[in-house]
Structure 1
Amino acid sequence: MAAQKKLHVKKGDRVKVISGKDKGTVGEIIAVDPSNDRVTVQGVNIVKRHLTDRQAGGRVEKGGIVSSEAPIHVSNVQPVVKKDGVEVVTRVGHKRETVTKTRADGTTYEGTRSVRIAKATGEEF
């Protein structure tokens, strides 16, 4: 079994679209698909689907034209952070920080964990 891919963004991040028809739009990531390198951003890449009326379990579901977000490639988005009250795009870095961990038997020890930092501000996000 192959290891899970890592992306530079995750669900809930605020991102800016840097290329494509929605270039410049800022939105929140609502879904991530690491196996296909795709993310779904709120309010970006809106597509319309034409649905017919259908029956499901004795009730009728109304059809019509439904608008929803479609996924875009992860390389087309960049994280956004606040710097001096202004939103700026940034790259993602990682930093190891020391933390105190507790074992199941109650003893504690020093360990490290990786945190994502914004290259523009140097702060964790």
Structure 2
Amino acid sequence: MASAKIKKGDSVVVLSGKDKGKSGTVAKVMPKEGKVVVEGVNIAARHRKPTQQNPQGGIDRFEAPMSISKVAVADPKDGKPTRVRFEEKDGKKVRVAVKSGETIDG
């Protein structure tokens, strides 16, 4: 399996959809489904009926998964979206931002 270009903890920028231009940190990656969960982005709401566990009921807001193709890693230099490539440095495979050439921590 190829190495993932987006990993948990990465700073990403949303490229399309209702949250276009927003940025956040990746909370969860689901490679088999091709989805990511980004903190503070793609907030969904579920209206819950009162139950014995939750007698108040109400509206639950949560971060819904979004397609991994809708996000790009933020460049460490300026925070703008960039592609990622892999390079060999000191015998280790590291992720590098294509725009600036900076190494992406992670």
Q: Same fold (TM over 0.5)?
A: yes
Runs of 4+ in 1 over 6 A off after TM superposition: none
Q: Which of 80, 95, 106 matches 1:116?
A: 95
Structure with more contact order per residue of length (Cα contacts < 8 Å, sep ≥ 6):
2
- The question of whether the paired residues in 1 share the 8 Å contact of 2:11 and 2:26 is answered with yes
Q: CA deviation at 1:70?
A: 0.6
Instruction: Provide the secondary structure at the position in 2 that maps to 1:82.
Output: coil
Question: Equivalents in 2 of 1:25, 1:10: separation in Å?
Answer: 18
- For the pair shown, the structure with the greater C-alpha radius of gyration is 1
TM-fit CA distance, 1:52: 3.0
For the 8 Å contact 2:5–2:95, the answer to whether it is kept is: no
Gaps of 5+ in 1: 99-111
Give the equivalent residue in structure 1 for 2:15.
Answer: 18
Of the three residues 51, 54, 62, the one matched with 1:54 is 51
Root mean square deviation, CA, Å: 1.7
1: CA distance between counterparts of 2:82 and 2:43?
A: 25
- What residue ranges of structure 2 are gaps of 5+ in the alignment? none
Question: TM-score under structure 2 normalisation?
Answer: 0.85
**Could you tell me the percent identity over the aligned residues?**
40
The residue aligned with 1:82 is 76
Deviations 1:29-54 (A, max 9, x none): 11110001100111211110122333
Higher strand share: 1
Question: What is the rounded CA distance, in whole Å, between the counterparts of 1:30 and 1:82 in structure 2?
Answer: 18
Kept in 2, the 8 Å contact 1:6–1:34? The answer is no
1:67-116 Cα offsets, whole Å, 9 max, x none, are 01111110110111232xx3222110111122xxxxxxxxxxxxx22011
Residue 109 of structure 1 aligns with which residue? none
